[in-house]
Structure 1
């Protein structure tokens, strides 16, 4: 028996399930085969269930992170206020740059798990 992996194709209105890789409808929110909720796409960026995007959060951390804008965006209002209170020390800017790198290296699934709650 030949152990060559079979190549799978999808139609233009289909996508692969993020868990079991089955062909499912492009608009399906839940895979009918394995029951796993699919990651939502909005404007080409993968977004969490609450509509937050990892790329947008990373950009906010890079450009406006010293003022805590990325924290407000991610729903962490208390941390955002702390960033605002201490922005004159430049410590939040350094922390925001580190968070920018962390957000860029974070997978979409991990971002969804951490910040995707409704």
Structure 2
């Protein structure tokens, strides 16, 4: 009988702990729980999260820091008083939303 902190192995069906990464019986790596915001890159970046950062905090360059573009993030911070980075960040917000996951992974992964 399965407890609340247990799940079935995706390969052999054995009852295992929910936090287990590998089934102790068959050795198959268990898939992680689905991400609410969609797929992430190999480095853990997420397209929707980057878009939300660009929309809400883009004038300060937070989305650039999140994506690992530190130099561009510093430029956004230096010129945030002009509101030009806010306009560019809004355009980048739209670009991130229409960009495919594969293209996002290729560019920022």
**TM exceeds 0.5?**
yes
Note the C-alpha offset of 1:26: 6.8
Aligned partner (choices 77, 99, 104) of residue 92 of structure 2 = 99
Note the C-alpha offset of 1:107: 0.3
Residue 75 (structure 2) pairs with residue 82 (structure 1):
yes
Partner residue in 2 for 1:10: none
Structure 2: segments with no counterpart, 5+ residues:
1-9, 12-28
Contact 1:41 1:47 in 2 (8 A): no
Higher strand proportion (structure 1 or 2): 1
**TM-score in terms of structure 2 length:** 0.69
Larger C-alpha radius of gyration, 1 or 2? 2
**Distance in 2 of aligned mates of 1:52 and 1:115:** 8
Runs of 4 or more consecutive aligned structure 1 residues displaced over 4 Å after TM superposition: none
- Number of residue equivalences: 82
> 1:40-87 CA deviation, whole Å, 9 max, x = no partner?
876332100000000000000000000000000000000000000000
